[in-house]
A and B are shown apart, each in its own frame.
Chain A
Amino acid sequence: MLRLFSTIRKDLLILFRDRSGIAIMFLMPMALIVIMSVIQDAPFRDYQEMKIPILLVNSDKGVLGKTIEDSLKKSKLFDVNDSVISETEAKQIVAKGDYKIGIIVSANASEELNKKVEQFVSKTFASAGIPDLTQTADTLYETTPEIILYFSTDIKKSFKNSVQSSIKQFSSKIETQTLLDYFKKEFKKQNNDADNFTDEFISINEKNVMDGDAENLQMNSVQHNVPAWTMFGMFFIVISLAGGIIKEREDGSYLRILTMPGNYFTIMIGKISAYLIICLTQCLLMLMVGIYFLPLLGLPELVIGTNIFAIATLAVCSGLAATGYGIMIGTVFNTHQQSSTFGAISVVILAALGGIWVPVYVMPETIRVLAESSPLYWGLNAFHDLFLRAGTVQTIFPYLLKLLLFFCLTIVTSFFFNKIKYT
């Protein structure tokens, strides 16, 4: 135990005296968490909390224009500006990109809609052999009520689809309502009971998949970025760890260690323990940034749930995987330059595959398959399970197992490479 504690103490002292190493291990991931959370806040809010600013030119004086205007204003999706009075002006503003969307409800749209509906109802009654009281079945209406949408050229396709879909929903509702009103009116004229007509035949209600405390949790920039960059930060210790191992080898201290009592595993356990302490400290600091610091910047507070034991277990397993990877790189490569280049690039690749920047579900099929082999993906998914889905050690167990197996694989590889180098 004396050798183990002495090795841990020695490695921690060396680490804490390496200022650039400290910056890489602690400040860089913290800065990434803050910057990425702020940058990605808007895209994550997209259709959740953020209101889309739109220009509305309502030239219609009837119910159609009023209903669309009211629906847009009541909607949580849109921030309506109705100060512009002409279609031409609205088109110019959207073309310049000052507003992303312009909605024009044409003049007399309500009147035209009413006429169209009236004719449709008359035709329906006539075809059913019911006397046409309005006498409009044979009237020909040339014009169709029109809602024009202008989109800025730099708008995202998904954004455009979302707006189109919302407007379509509003207009369909009005169409249906108008139709129903006419049918009711006609039935009343025919002395039939029309009170059983209803506005909505299908009701759509969103319900949360989670029960209890996790009921209101939702993915946002903070919930994604804090665990994502915590995983990244933990794995970025490979540069410092591998560099330290290579330095020990280059300056001969590793040879001295090999001649001192204690076997390879005692030395490695000491090193692993020291870096595991660093990883756990990193994890704690990153989570604290998410809980206490990001809300000060106007971002949502990180919600970590109540299963602290599961979070600690995950942090230990992730830390072990990262440490094992660092030891493997430090053992396999011969120079500091090789190890730092490969270490940095490989961690960035594993991070990209693991969904640190872009969620894995939006990636192409082949990349999604590859992502499953990234330890950062396992760690990140396990964090999401704990934070967003009220997961437990049991639910994240497959990820914990994968992280531990990855750690074992890296240590066994290091052991064999070390044996090859020193025989």
Chain B
Amino acid sequence: MHDHSAIEVNQLVKIYRGAGVPAVNNISFAIEKGFFFGLLGPNGAGKTTAISILCGLLKPTSGTIYIHGLSYKKNREEIKKMIGIVPQEIALYHTLTAFENLQYVGNMYGLKGVQLKQRIMECLTVFGLEQSKNKLIKTFSGGMKRRINLIAGILHHPQILFLDEPTVGIDVQSRSVISEHLQDMNKKGTTIIYTSHFMEEAQNLCSHIAIIDNGNIIANGEPANLISQHQSNNLENLFIKLTGRKLRD
């Protein structure tokens, strides 16, 4: 385990109960602190399983994971405090207001009082939601929901942020705000692990990527280097080259 590693994964395997083939098949990689790391792959490649294991939601069948040198087996609570998660779903309570949702999330991370209120207002202002703080989430547009979903993941200043397709189904404006803010957070030192099907977005945002298919990592490195190694024009071209044109379920 290197001191500069944010995440280190060794020979990780996950076989779901009753499944014949592993969802994640003996993968190893390291993500250094401050990386903007893109975990890319077609549907059913094993991205969500890998992210879920890294977030501590799933137990691996075998292999080890270290988050800032800590393991889930011994230091689950410490790891939980240092990571933030932005799931693909709008993981919020739709009958609560934006403020109530964020207050609950903040409290769960031990934030309270004036400090919490200031932090909530700061985030809402950055993402243009300060006027909607007292509106129920169910009244929000898709873009607003995505933005509040992101705020819920970053409210406690996580050192590592996991994002599972954070910009899916939203307008250009919302996507732009989210991308800018993620880049800003990354510049300030937050390690970001991100999955997406938008190759152009991934190419612009990520300092490093790994392409996963059928549970195996088939490419890992800086996007520019990988594109050049595989003589591709861009990340999308590289992705198709490595994963094929066959439709996935």
Contacts and interface: CB of A to CB of B under 8 A. Distances in A.
B93 A260 contact: no
Contacts of B58: 422-423
Nearest to A259: B85
Nearest to A254: B91
B93 A14 contact: yes
A259 B107 contact: no
Nearest to B108: A260
Given A10-B96, A259-B85, A422 B108 contact: no
Contact of B95 (A2, A14, A252, A262): A14
Interface in B58-98: 58-59, 77, 80-81, 83, 85, 87-96
A21 B34 CA distance: 46
Contacts of B136: 17
Nearest to A248: B93
Interface in B179-195: none
Q: How large is the interface on B (under 10, 10 to 19, 20 to 34, 35 or more residues)?
A: 20 to 34
A3 interface: yes
A7 B107 CA distance: 9
Contact of A252 (B77, B81, B83, B88): B88
A257 B85 CA distance: 10
A260 B83 CA distance: 9
Interface in A219-269: 251-253, 255-262
A394 B92 CA distance: 45
B85 A256 contact: yes
A9 B87 CA distance: 23
Nearest to B100: A13
A10 B100 contact: yes
A3 B91 contact: no
Interface string A32-72: 00000000000000000000000000000000000000000
A18 interface: yes
A272 B109 CA distance: 21
A252 B96 contact: no
Given A261-B109, A262-B108, A253 B93 contact: yes
A6 interface: yes
B199 interface: no
Chain A contact residues, majority secondary structure: helix
B55 interface: yes
Nearest to A18: B95
Nearest to A267: B108
Contacts of A17: 95-96, 136
Given A252-B88, A252-B89, A255-B87, A260 B109 contact: yes
Interface in A1-39: 2-3, 5-7, 9-10, 13-14, 17-18
Contacts of A423: 58-59
Nearest to B78: A261
A14 B96 contact: yes
Contacts of B94: 251
Nearest to B87: A252
A157 B87 CA distance: 67
A43 B88 CA distance: 59
A300 B160 CA distance: 65
Contact of A2 (B55, B57, B112): B112
Contacts of A251: 89-92, 94
Contact of B96 (A13, A259, A260, A261): A13
A6 B81 contact: no
A259 B93 CA distance: 16
Given A14-B95, A253-B91, A256-B91, A2 B110 contact: yes
B156 to A, nearest CB: 9
A421 B85 CA distance: 20
A21 to B, nearest CB: 10
A126 B238 CA distance: 129
B29 interface: no
A252 B90 contact: yes
A285 B107 CA distance: 32
A260 B105 contact: yes
A151 B80 CA distance: 78
A186 to B, nearest CB: 91
A253 B57 contact: no
A262 B110 CA distance: 10
A164 B211 CA distance: 91
Contact of B110 (A10, A14, A261): A261
B63 to A, nearest CB: 15
B56 interface: yes
Nearest to A419: B59
B112 A259 contact: no
17 contacts: A2-B107, A3-B107, A3-B108, A10-B96, A17-B96, A17-B136, A251-B90, A252-B91, A253-B93, A255-B57, A255-B89, A257-B108, A258-B57, A259-B57, A260-B108, A261-B80, A261-B110
Given A3-B110, A14-B95, 15 more contacts: A2-B110, A2-B112, A3-B107, A3-B108, A7-B108, A9-B104, A10-B104, A13-B100, A17-B95, A251-B89, A251-B91, A252-B90, A260-B105, A261-B81, A422-B57
Interface of A: 2-3, 5-7, 9-10, 13-14, 17-18, 251-253, 255-262, 422-423
The 10 closest A-B pairs by CB, nearest first: A252-B89, A252-B91, A6-B107, A256-B91, A260-B108, A17-B95, A253-B91, A10-B104, A252-B87, A259-B85
